[in-house]
Structure 1
C-alpha cells in the first residue's frame, strides 16, 4: 500500500494491512452497505486505475480541468494527466471535508469533473457538492479509496457520484484490487486478465504476507518447499537476464515489476498498461467469500479501542471527535502537536503508520491550502484493520503511548 510508511529492510512488528487468515471467511451476520453492492461494478487492479477509467467515462480529455482536493495522495493526479487534462487543487476544511466555496470559485468552462474523497473511512455529506455539479453540468468522481463500506445517514458510499472508485487492498487481505462502480451509468468496458505471471504473483504474495505474520501455519508448512524453489528459480532467472542501465532485463523480456501494478508494490506510479485489466482471480475470490460484516464490526471495535487507549495522552488528539454511526474506518488518524519526535519513536519501535498527505503534488503547499499542509505535517494514522489479534492490538496501544510520551518529553 503506497500510504504505509515502511522501509524495505524492516519487517513491521504487526501487519500494517489485512493479512489472510481462516477467520476472514467466518460468517458474521448481515453485510453492511458497500461499494461492491453498486448495480454497475468492475473489479480492477487498483483505485488509481479506476480513477482513470472514471475520467475517461466522463469524457475528460486535453484542455479540460479536473478539481482535486489539495489534501490527497499523489497517486490521484497521474490519471488526470493521462487523460491530457489539468489538475487544479481545491481547499479542504480542518476535518478534511471539501471547501464548497473554494470549489465554486474555481469553476470555469474548462472544468469537466470534480473528485471528492471520503477520508479515512468517514463518509462525507456530498449532497451540496452533487447539487453544485448538477447545476454546472460537471461530473462527480466519488473517491472511496478509504471508504469501501458505510453510509452517511441513509446515503450509501459510492451512490452520490457519477462514478465511484474503491481500493479493496485497504480492506481485504489481497495483494491487488480496486473497483469502479456507478449507481447512475452503465459501465460499458470489457476487462482483460493480467496474465499468468500476475495471477501467480497475486496469490503467492498474499500467502507470503500472511506467513510472515504467523498466519496459516499449516499451509505455510505445506508450501515451504515449493516457495523455496520458486524463490531460487526467480533469482536464477533474474541473474541470467542481467539488467541494462535502466533496470530492464538485458534479454528484452518484461521487467519483473511489470508483473504487477505499482499500486501493489508501494508505488505512486500510474501505468496505463494496467488500464482495463481485471483484478486477480485470487483477489476476486477473497472479496466474494470474505465475511464483510466481520470487517466492519472489527474495524469499528479496534478503532474505538485505540481511541480509548490514546485518551489523555499528551500532545495529541484524534482527527475525528467520535466515530460516526455507519462508518467503517480505514485507519485511526491522530493529530500530534509535535509529530516528528513521535514519528521517530514509532519507527524505532517498528510500528506501522500512515502519513497520508505528507507528500503532496509539487506546488501544493500552505499557500494553496493551509489545512492540507497542516494535516500532512501533523497527522499520523495507525492500523485498525480486522486481522489484528488481541496481542497485536495490546502491543500497538502500548507502543503508541510510549511514543507519544517520548515525543512530549522532547518537546518539553
Structure 2
C-alpha cells in the first residue's frame, strides 16, 4: 500500500511571552493545567472513559449497551514479552545509540535537559500546540517559554519560528506530532544561524525518520517517550548530539508495587481483548481489588496517577521490566503495521473526514490516526468506548501559560481532533471494524 492518502506542580514565571502580533503577554501565576491525550492512554484510560461517561450522563445522552473491547488506545502486553532479556545491539535508533540515557518519563528528561543546557531564566521558543506536561517540565526547570504558532494539520512554519526570536531567545523546543516530522531541518539551520540550542521532542515520534535520518538527531538533545509506542508501563529516553554528554542524575527506583500494577494493567487489557466479556470482568475485578489493597496498605504515591509534571518523580529511572519488554519487540514489524493501519483508516474514513495529512511519508511511524470531528468529543469517546473502541480526546485542555484565544487554530485543533488507535496490536480486520464503528458513531451524533 502506497503512502499517498485518498480523499475521503510548577509555577509559571510572570513574563511568559506570546509572539508579537498575538496581542498579549501572559502574566498569570497559576498551576499547570492537565490535558488528556495520548500521554494518558496506558494509565488513565479508565479515568478518561469515566469522565466521558459522566459528561454524557449530565447531558442526558443515552449510550448503547457496552460491547467487548477490541481496539485499545495503545498496544497491550503479551506474556512472552516478560522474559528477562537485554535490549539487542541491533535495535533501532534511539535504543542503539551510545550514551542513550533512560528515565521513568520523557518529561523528566525535559527537565534535566533544560537544566543541563543552562536555560534557567532564559527564553525558549515553544509550540503553542502541546499536551501541557512537557511545558510543565520546562517551567519547573526554570525556562521562560515564548510561544510560536502551530497551524491546522499540526504544521509549524520555520519562518514564523524565526519571527519569534528576540535578543533574549536561547533555544527552540520543537515537537514532532503523531510520528510526522516537523520542519526540523529548517529549524536546525535557523538555530545554527542564531546560535540557539534545539531540543527535539520526539515523545510522539519514536521510530520515525525524515528521509533516512531518525528524528531526534537534528537537535542538541532528542527526547523520546517509550510507552506511547511500545507496551511498557513507563519509560523515557534522551540522546545528545554530544555523545559524551550525560544529563540524568543517578536513577532512583520506582516503587515495585506501582511498576507491577502498571504492568499488570497492560496485560489485563490484552486479556480483555482476547477473552471478551470474561476478560473485561477479570480486568475490572482485579483492578478494583488492587486499588483497594493499595489503599489499605498505604502504598507509595503512584507516578502514573496524574499526567502533569510532578517534581517528586523527576529522579526516577526506568525499570528493568521495561528493558525486557523493549528487548522483545520486532521493530520493523511495528513500523510496518502502524503504517498499514494508518493507511487503512485513511482509506475507510476519508468519506467522513479528509485525512489530516495528505501523505504518509516514507519513514514515518504514525502514533495514532487524528480524526477531525464537529461533534462533542467527550460524547464520542463515551460512545466509542461503549462499542469497544478506546478513542482519546486529544489535548483538549489549554495550559494556563498559553490560554484559549491566543492561537485560534490551536483552539480549533483542541476542539476537533479525536485520536484513533492504529497501533501494532490491531489486525487489518480490527481496523476495518474500528472504521465501521467510527462511521456509525459519527452518524448517531451528527
Q: Same fold (TM over 0.5)?
A: yes
Q: Which residue of 2 aligns with 1:251?
A: none
Shift of 1:229: 10
Change in Cα spacing, 1:237 to 1:318, as seen in structure 2 (3 Å) is closer
| Partner Cα distance (1:216, 1:381) in 2 | 19
> Does the Cα contact within 8 Å between 2:158 and 2:183 map onto a contact in 1?
no
Summarize the alignment of residues 221-236 of structure 1 with structure 2, pairs less than 5 Å apart: 235=292
**1:40–1:183 Cα contact (<8 Å) kept:** no
Residue of structure 1 equivalent to 2:313: 274
Say how many residue pairs are matched. Answer: 377
1:339-367 superposed Cα distances (whole Å, 9 cap, x missing partner): 54655643553532233331121253564
Shift of 1:117: 0.9
The 3 A distance-change label for structure 1 pair 388 and 191 is farther
Relative distance call for 1:110 and 1:203 in structure 2 (3 A) is same
Q: Partner of 1:160 in structure 2?
A: 218
Q: Which runs of structure 2 are paired with 1:104-123 in the superposition (5 Å)?
A: 104-123=162-181
- Counterpart Cα distance in 1 of 2:229 and 2:387: 24
CA RMSD of aligned residues (A): 3.3
**1:395 counterpart SS class:** helix
Correspondence 1:183-198 to 2 at 5 A: 183-189=241-247, 191-195=249-253, 198=255
Distance (whole Å) between structure 1 residues aligned to residue 324 and residue 91 of structure 2 = 19
The verdict on how the C-alpha distance between 1:216 and 1:356 changes in structure 2, with shifts beyond 3 A counting, is: closer
Higher relative contact order (CA 8 A, sep 6+): 2
Cα–Cα, structure 1 residues 231 and 81, in superposed 2: closer, same or farther, change >3 Å? same
Q: Return the alpha-carbon distance in structure 2 between the equivalents of residues 166 and 364 of structure 1.
A: 23
CA distance in 2, matches of 1:110, 1:40: 31
Change (3 A) 1:103 1:24: same
Contact 1:177 1:283 in 2 (8 A): yes
Q: 1:200, 1:380 → 2: CA distance?
A: 33
For residue 386 of structure 1, what is the aligned residue in structure 2?
424
Partner in structure 2 of residue 334 of structure 1: 371
Pairing 1:39–2:98 present: yes
Q: Which residue of 2 aligns with 1:17?
A: 74
Equivalent position of 1:401 in the other structure: 439
- State which of 147, 150, 156 in structure 2 corresponds to 1:92: 150
Alpha-carbon separation, structure 2, partners of 1:176 and 1:303: 24
Alignment of 1:6-155 (within 5 A): 6-8=48-50, 13=69, 14-21=71-78, 33-61=92-120, 63-155=121-213
Equivalent position of 1:2 in the other structure: 39
* Structure 1 segments unaligned to the other structure (5+ residues): 242-254
Shift of 1:97: 2.6
Q: 2:59: which partner in 1? A: none
**Alignment deviations for residues 252-294 of structure 1 (CA, whole Å, 9 cap, x no partner):** xxx63x2x42xx34x2321223223321111122112311112
Determine the C-alpha separation between the residues in 2 that align with 1:360 and 1:237: 32
Counterpart in 1 of 2:260?
203
| Equivalent residue number for residue 390 of structure 2 | 352
Q: TM-score, normalised by structure 2?
A: 0.75
Question: Residue 249 of structure 1 corresponds to which residue in structure 2?
Answer: none
Q: Is residue 238 of structure 1 aligned with residue 295 of structure 2?
A: yes
Q: Structure 2 vs 1, CA of residues 125 and 190 (structure 1 numbering), >3 Å: closer, same or farther?
A: closer
Q: Does 1:300 align with 2:342?
A: no
